[in-house]
Amino acid sequence: MKTPKIIFSDIDGTFLRDDHMTVSHRTAEAVHAVLAQGIPFVLVSARMPEAIYPITDGIGVKIPVISYSGGLALTDAGETILDERIDAGAASMVLSAIDEKFPVMAVNYYAGRRWYVRDKDDPRVQYEEHITHATAEIGNFDMLLSINTLPSKLLLMGAPEPCKRAEHDLAERFPMLHVVRSSDTLVEIMQAGVSKESGLRAMLDHYGLTAKDALAFGDNYNDLEMLQFAGTSVAMGNAPEAIKKAASHVTKSNEEDGIWAFLKEHKMI
């Protein structure tokens, strides 16, 4: 197998253990070994940057990140190379629709490097703060839109059944937006055209590379476009069968050091 010139990895279910917070020793070792060869290692996630940097700081590296499932891309020095936001009109309409049809959902408004909520005491918000180490702040969404602080992403938190209905209803009603469940209890809303693939494209352009130079690791449906785009794609052992079939390779699970195992098996580290 050809040695990649750049490596991309999803975070939850891929790079992190099942606790969504910790990195195994071998996974951290693999990142350091890749970087020592001059190969960029990029984390790709629906998370905001402030929910990714505690992970990279914890293993002692400064690397590029792609946040909001491809909406925001930052270099290892923190330089912004891609920043896609939801249009103000679309954001206002979808927020009104959520309040009307899904009032029990917790709505999170992510704008660049900041995270706004209506209720910091909501247990769902507090749990997200706990696992990501990012800090939410109280914000008035209408006021944010009025001063052109546009959302990079809206995140809905709720029970599985309302999330399933919200994904279907909002996607049908707002074709100008990309609406997708990232888990049974989370619905991500971004500008149409934003995907992990679009984030990869921006990062590859930055490095002067192409898709065939890239290796990507992922474990779930929101990684599908990234896996199909990268020249070499690797599904984790804990991925659904459909994702395994879409990838060119399958490795061990995130709990079994799947990233390290694949790179070691193919003599990349």
Strands 232-235 and 41-44: unpaired
Cα–Cα nearest to 232, from 211, 252, 253: 211
Tokens (6 digits) for 239: 């991925």
Catalytically annotated residue among 10, 213, 219, 257:
10
Contact 129, 135 (CB under 8 A): yes
Is 169 a known active-site residue?
no
Based on its alpha-carbon atoms, the radius of gyration of the chain, rounded to whole angstroms, reads 18
What is the Cα–Cα distance from 193 to 86, expressed in whole angstroms? Answer: 11
Cβ density class 137-176: b for 16+ within 10 Å, e for less: eebebeebbeeebbbbbbbbbbeeebbeebbeebbeebee
76 secondary structure, DSSP code: T
Cα–Cα nearest to 69, from 164, 167, 188, 231: 188
Is the four-CA dihedral 49, 50, 52, 58 of positive or negative sign? positive
Cα–Cα nearest to 33, from 260, 261, 266, 265: 260
Catalytic residues: 10
